[in-house]
């Protein structure tokens, strides 16, 4: 399956995907890694293993739609079948979602539908939950509202800070994101309405 990744920062989830890919356990072809930040570490991680990269800095475009059009054209030129958001800090517009000719997936550091949007770990701590986690989901036009593919819980401890909880969730993200993408690439993920079914034994 031909995939592309959009990332804004360090790219640690991208690295988890690259590691699985290099080991031969992720049946995908990395067509490109893009970022809205010219100096994103994610771009360096991709270049290191020979994956083509592109930067789409917002300041280079007259408006958001022009930036999104450029990204859409890039995906189309590469023949991308699955767009993976890995710490991409810009919200894709409904215009983008409707025009994209590929599936789009994201990972979010909470057990959706709890704590959507930014600072999910801080939201969880302020709310006082005892369990948080992360969610891999398809992207739709809402904020973290797309059909849920996979989730894993992470305990919240009384002494947790945003940093310690974020780190514990991130370790789980690095495990379930490659697994979800592997299942999608193998054709084992079916989505009907909001319900996602994973066929593990076929």
Question: Is there a single domain that holds both residue 118 and residue 88?
Answer: no
Question: Is there a single domain that holds both residue 50 and residue 85?
Answer: yes
Averaged pLDDT for residues 61-81: 97
HEC secondary structure over the chain? CEEEEECCCCCHHHHHHHHHHHCCCCCCEEEEEEECCCCCHHHHHHHHCCCCEEECCHHHCCCHHHHHHHHHHHHHHHCCCEEEECCCCCCCCHHHHHHCCCEEEEEECCCCCCCCCCCHHHHHHHHCCCEEEEEEEECCCCCCCCCEEEEEEEECCCCCCHHHHHHHHHHHHHHHHHHHHHHHHCCCEEEECCEEEECCCC
pLDDT class for 200, splitting at 50, 70, 90? confident
157-186 pLDDT, tens digit per residue, is 999 999 999 999 999 999 999 999 999 999
Percent of the chain with pLDDT over 90: 98
Question: Is there a single domain that holds both residue 71 and residue 18?
Answer: yes
Tell me the catalytic residues: 108
5-64 pLDDT, tens digit per residue, is 999 999 999 999 999 999 999 999 999 999 999 999 999 999 999 999 999 999 999 999
Question: Is there a single domain that holds both residue 56 and residue 125?
Answer: no
pLDDT at 167: 97
User: Which of 51, 82, 101 is a domain's end point?
Assistant: 101
> What CATH number is given to the structural domain containing 39?
3.40.50.170
Residue 190's domain comprises 106-202
């Amino acid at each position: 399956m031909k995939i592309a990744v959009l990332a804004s920062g360090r790219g640690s989830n991208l690295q988890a995907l690259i590691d699985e890919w290099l080991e031969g356990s992720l049946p995908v072809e990395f067509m490109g890694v893009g970022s809205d930040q010219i100096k994103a570490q994610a771009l360096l991680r991709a270049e290191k293993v020979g994956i083509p990269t592109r930067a789409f800095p917002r300041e280079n475009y007259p408006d958001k739609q022009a930036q999104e059009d450029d990204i859409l054209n890039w995906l189309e030129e590469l023949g991308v079948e699955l767009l993976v958001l890995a710490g991409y800090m810009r919200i894709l517009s409904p215009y983008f979602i409707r025009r994209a000719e590929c599936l789009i997936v994201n990972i979010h550091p909470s057990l959706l539908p709890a704590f959507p949007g930014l600072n999910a770990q801080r939201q969880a701590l302020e709310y006082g939950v005892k369990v948080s986690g992360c969610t891999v989901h398809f992207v739709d036009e809402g904020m973290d509202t797309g059909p849920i593919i996979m989730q894993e819980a992470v305990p919240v401890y009384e002494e947790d800070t945003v940093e310690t909880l974020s780190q514990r969730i991130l370790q789980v993200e690095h495990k379930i994101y490659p697994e979800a993408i592997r299942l999608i690439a193998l054709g084992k993920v079916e989505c009907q309405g909001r319900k996602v079914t994973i066929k593990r034994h076929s």
